[in-house]
Structure formats: C-alpha cells, structure tokens
Amino acid sequence: MGLAPVRPILLGALAARDAYRRVMLVAGARSPAELLYRDQLAEWASLPGVSVELTIDQPAADWDGAVGFVTEPLARLTLDPRQTVAFVCGPEPMMRFSAGVLLGQGVAAGDIRVSLERNMKCGVGLCGHCQLGPLLPCRDGPVVDYARVQSLLGVREL
C-alpha cells in the first residue's frame, strides 16, 4: 500500500500549506476496498490548492471513479517541472513507470523520490538481503532520488 508511507509527507505539506503552491496526490489500488484513508482522501480533495486523483486497477461494481494504473492520471497532471518534487511509493515496476511519466513531463530525476521498501533482515547493511546493486536500503535509507536508482530499477535480477 503505497499511500501509507506517503501519507506523512502529505500531512507535512498540508501543515506547511503556505510553503507549497499546489499539492497533488495520485493514488491507486487494486480495488476500492484496498484504498486507504477513504475519509481523509475526501477531506484532502476538498482543500483549496489540493488535488486528489484516485484510480483502481480493475472495474468494480461499487466504483464510479477512474479505472487504470496510476500512470494514467499522473500523465494528465499539469506540472511545472522546475517546481515539482514527486514522492513515489509502491511496487518497483509501478515506481519505474511513474518516474518515466514524470521524466517525460520534464521533472528532473533528482526531484523524484522513490521508496525502496525491500525486505530487510539485519537492518545495518551486513547481510545484503535488501541490496539493490550498490545500495543497501537499510543502511542508505529506503527513500532515494530516482537519479540514483534509475538504472538499477530496470534490472530484473536486482
């Protein structure tokens, strides 16, 4: 559930609302039942200067919103790439495709943060279980800029 780790970032941006021109949240889930924070999503969407785009992967009887992957509403956003910082969390293929959409809109790879939520065993960089190429997310931090991992996330074996 990519929204859980992104929620504190969103709450921080909302608490310092004057520091940000616009706050945009694009969130997706497999089904409506898997969308987290439903009440808060509606509350956030009602705030001035905040947009919330939701989508689910497959059509559902109890859903009248967008259907498709998060890359679709992400591609429709109007962004000022010079003033955009993106935080992307979810499965690694989704992060790679979402980062690709943002890069295509002119957002610099260094302004896209991805969360490498990998299974960690030792937590101090000794066992290598969480290793992604030269990175050890337990030691180096799980949130890194896309410029640092762009080539790594495309390698299936990593």
Number of domains into which the chain is organized: 2
Residue 9: what residue type? I
Give the pLDDT of residue 123.
Answer: 87
Q: What is the pLDDT of residue 76?
A: 94
158 and 84 share one domain: yes
- Residue 65: CATH number of its domain: 3.40.50.80
* pLDDT tens across the length of the chain (158 residues): 679 889 999 999 999 999 998 999 999 999 999 999 999 999 999 999 999 999 999 999 989 999 999 999 999 999 999 999 999 999 889 999 999 999 999 999 999 999 987 888 888 989 999 998 899 999 988 999 999 999 998 877 65
Instruction: Output the pLDDT for position 51.
Output: 95
Q: 73 Cβ partners below 8 Å, 6+ apart?
A: 26, 53, 54, 55, 66
Q: Of 78, 113, 131, at which residue does a domain stop?
A: 78
pLDDT at position 156: 72
- The pLDDT value recorded for residue 32 is 93
The last residue of a domain, from among 54, 78, 102: 78
Same domain? For 15 and 68 the reply is yes
Residue ending a domain, among 62, 78, 94, is: 78
Query: 28 is in which domain, residue-wise?
Result: 1-78
Are 2 and 73 found together in one domain?
yes
Instruction: State whether 72 and 84 are in the same domain.
Output: no
Q: Is the same domain home to 71 and 101? A: no
pLDDT at 120: 84
Residues 41 and 85 in one domain: no
pTM of the model: 0.91
How much of the chain is in helix, strand and coil states, percent to nearest 5?
40, 20, 40
Same domain, 8 and 57: yes
